Structure 1
Amino acid sequence: MEDFLELLSEANKAFKTADHLTYVTYPLVQETKLLIAIVENLYSALIKSIEAILEYDQLYKRISLLPQDPQLRFEIFKTKSAKRYNIDDIDLDLIEDLREIISYHKKSPLEFVRKDKYVLYLNNLRIKTIDFKKIKEDLEKVNTFLKKVNLIFEDERKYQRS
């Protein structure tokens, strides 16, 4: 029953890891390759919070059956849950952007660092770059998104404690 609270806890933990990597570890070691680890943690935080919302909606029968396919689950989230919880297009675009970066990272035959930017290169001449400034912007957006999600579950946490 409290699977969604466990997922939310994991999402918050992944965000804290990304925050620590961004504001403590990266400035200390100045290793640009850490940027991809930060993106992975941000994406993990977003996905786990989406999963928590979907589990919550399924528990209260707002969603009948959840498919196993992550893309279909995200589509259900976009069409049903996002509207219900006032999650705007900026947040959805951020999720898509981070998903694209992770996908590029997995498929990329060539990744390199150039002028404090992490560059992902695909065979068909598509390039995606990640820099510290963009990471900090994304971190703030994910923080705002997680605050919204945590507010959704605040009453559930109070109920679980009593």
Structure 2
Amino acid sequence: MNSLYHGSELCEVDADGNVAVPAFLEDAFAPETSPEIVVAKHQADDCLIGYGRAHLSTLAERAERRRVAEEERGEEARSHYRRMRGTFGLSERIKRDGRGLRIPPAMRHLGRIDDLALFVGAGDSFEIWNPQLALESDDEHFRALAEFRLRMRGTKTAGVH
């Protein structure tokens, strides 16, 4: 069974993409799991998504079920291949190194990650947000979480009092 990720934490990211692994993520990584995780461009939101390598097979199974259902409805395969590129092509494996990890440059670019990253548990995956983009979310509770995390850190936010 894959780990379930729950919690959130705002973390500093250095110029090379190094970041401390948030405690809630470290707790979700079982000692026997691979030190590698996968980080990809989120397909629906303006952030990154991460998960353990073992979750790749689950994603492949879900994609195949969805492809078959779309094919049965007579839909074109184009959306399937776009999803597959997004899931498997716009992703990178990264190693957890001690209590840290390095977000690769391409992933930082795609996720628009600068000097801060808001890590958010999402069940069988976790998300990595530029906290300023999280403040623009259409989810009012998520916006409030981002505002709280930034305020607790003492970071000024645009448009937040």
Q: Same fold (TM over 0.5)?
A: no
Q: Which has the higher contact order (CA 8 A, sep 6+)?
A: 2
Query: Which one has the bigger helix percentage?
Result: 1
Q: Which category describes the TM-score, using the shorter chain as reference length? A: 0.3 to 0.5
Query: Which one has the bigger strand percentage?
Result: 2
Report the TM-score when normalising by structure 2: 0.32
Report the TM-score when normalising by structure 1: 0.32
